[in-house]
Amino acid sequence: MGAYEDLQSMGFTSYEARVYLALVAHPGVTGYEVSKHSGVPRAKVYEVLEGMVRSGTVLTTEEDRQLYRPLPHRLLLARHRGQMEEAMNRLEDAFAQIEVEEEEPQLVTLRGYDSVIDMTQGMCDEAIDSILASGFPQDLRRIQEPLARAERRGIKVYILQFGDEDMGLRNQFFHEISPMQARQVKQYGRWFAVLRDVKEALMAGVGDNSSTSALWTEHMGVVMPLAMWIQHDIGVNVMAEEAGPELSRKLSQKMNNRLAELWQLGLPVDDSGRDSSETQHPAQDG
């Protein structure tokens, strides 16, 4: 967005934005010259200038002829910044007066990949204490910069990634994608979760844009179990690193032998009742 569009976003009309920019570049000129520099038709430029003089965004000087100058841009921006802050304060008061206290926290469904990413980026920017996130590289990468900004603000950021892509964050933990999990992704899509301050949670099933959907909530009956799931998975991975590869493989194999049926829950089976894709046990399916 350029200066012309930004001025319009501040409430300038198209002609007013052109006139103001022309005066910043060519102060102290006649109405005729304003028309020439701005592209505003001569039949309209004096009407526009008169309105801007009344609003104080254009100043006039009386010499041998009337010349126009812009209100210095620092004053213009200070004025609009103050007006915006006043409007925001008024809106906060107005919303507080009309807001209805909800008896139960909502469970909100989001549809579409872009909507999910927009929501999680906003959660990262609004965090005041902590962010927990779990997912695959292609999804976590979309919130990498908001996560980095949060970390620079002093927010405690912990990431559990199903993959091994370094995102440059201090507390990033990598989870091997086991054969079983690869099958789960193929069957159901990727999973993606973000928690803000252990007060707000989003959980998504990620496919293509139209098939991606998520649940967002502040309900602690959802937020706390999700926080504990991510904390637990991070803890298990740290223990596996500390135990070393040989001991981790032995423990993982024992766990898989004991819990093989549990890992299969929800996955398709063939007519014989056996798992329809094949029986290689995952290295780790936490």
Question: Where residue 189 sits, what CATH number does that domain have?
Answer: 3.30.870.10
Q: What are the backbone angles phi and psi of residue 153, rounded to the nearest 5°?
A: -80, -5
Are 152 and 219 within one domain?
yes
What confidence tens digit (pLDDT) does each residue in 81-136 have?
988 899 899 999 888 888 776 667 788 999 999 999 999 999 999 999 999 999 99
| In a shared domain, residues 136 and 33 | no
Residue 173 lies in a domain: yes
* Cα 68 off chain centre by: 44
C-alpha span between 280 and 264 (Å, rounded) = 12
Q: Would residue 70 count as lying in a domain?
A: yes
Quote the distance between the C-alpha of residue 103 and its chain's center: 28
Work out the average pLDDT over 31-55: 94
pLDDT classification of 284: cutoffs 50, 70, 90: very low
CA distance 167 to 104: 37
Tell me, what amino acid is at 105? P
Query: Which of 74, 98, 116 is the endpoint of a domain?
Result: 74
**Does residue 269 register a pLDDT over 80?**
no
Domains in the chain, number: 2
Residue 56: both structure tokens together: 């104080």
Both 156 and 229 in a single domain? Answer: yes
Q: Is residue 168 in some structural domain?
A: yes
Q: Do 137 and 56 sit in the same domain of this protein? A: no
The answer to whether position 113 is within a domain reads no
The 3-state secondary structure of the chain, one letter per residue: CCHHHHHHHCCCCHHHHHHHHHHHHCCCECHHHHHHHHCCCHHHHHHHHHHHHHHCCEEEEECCCEEEEECCHHHHHHHHHHHHHHHHHHHHHHHHHHCCCCCCCCEEEEECHHHHHHHHHHHHHHCCCEEEEEECHHHHHHHHHHHHHHHHCCCEEEEEEECCCCCCCCCEEEECCCHHHHHHHHHHCEEEEEEECCCEEEEEEECCCCCCEEEEECCHHHHHHHHHHHHHHHHHHHHHHHHCHHHHHHHHHHHHHHHHHHHCCCCCECCCCCECCCCCCCCCCC
Cβ neighbours of residue 241 closer than 8 Å, sequence gap 6 or more: none
Q: Kindly state whether residues 54 and 134 are assigned to the same domain.
A: no
| Owning domain of residue 150 | 130-243
Clarify whether residues 142 and 239 are in a common domain: yes
Q: 38, 54, 74: which is the final residue of a domain? A: 74
Q: How far is CA 60 from CA 15, 17, 34, 44, 47, in A?
A: 18, 17, 13, 18, 14
pLDDT in tens, 197-231: 999 999 999 987 678 999 999 999 999 999 999 99
CATH code of the domain containing 38: 1.10.10.10
Q: Are 239 and 134 contained in the same domain?
A: yes
Residue 67 placed within a domain: yes
- Within 8 A by CB and 6+ apart from 177, the residues are 162, 163, 185
Is 165 inside a domain boundary?
A: yes
Angle at Cα 65 formed by Cα 62 and Cα 68, nearest 5°?
Answer: 65
Gap between the Cα atoms of 120 and 110, Å rounded? 11
User: Looking at the structure, do residues 65 and 144 belong to the same domain, yes or no?
Assistant: no
The whole-angstrom separation of Cα 153 and Cα 143 is 15
Q: Is the pTM for the entire model greater than 0.75?
A: no
Same domain, 36 and 134: no
Gap between the Cα atoms of 24 and 58, Å rounded: 10
60 and 152 fall within a common domain: no
Q: Do residues 142 and 68 share a domain?
A: no
Confidence of residue 275 (pLDDT cuts 50, 70, 90): very low
Last residue of a domain, one of 47, 74, 101: 74
Same domain, 145 and 237: yes
Query: pLDDT tens digit string along 237-265?
Result: 888 778 887 887 787 777 777 777 776 66
- Is residue 46 in some structural domain? yes
Q: Is residue 94 part of a domain?
A: no
Residue where the block lists tokens 């001569």: 42
Neighbours of 157 (CB within 10 A): 24
Per the CB < 8 A criterion, the answer to whether 68 and 29 are in contact is yes
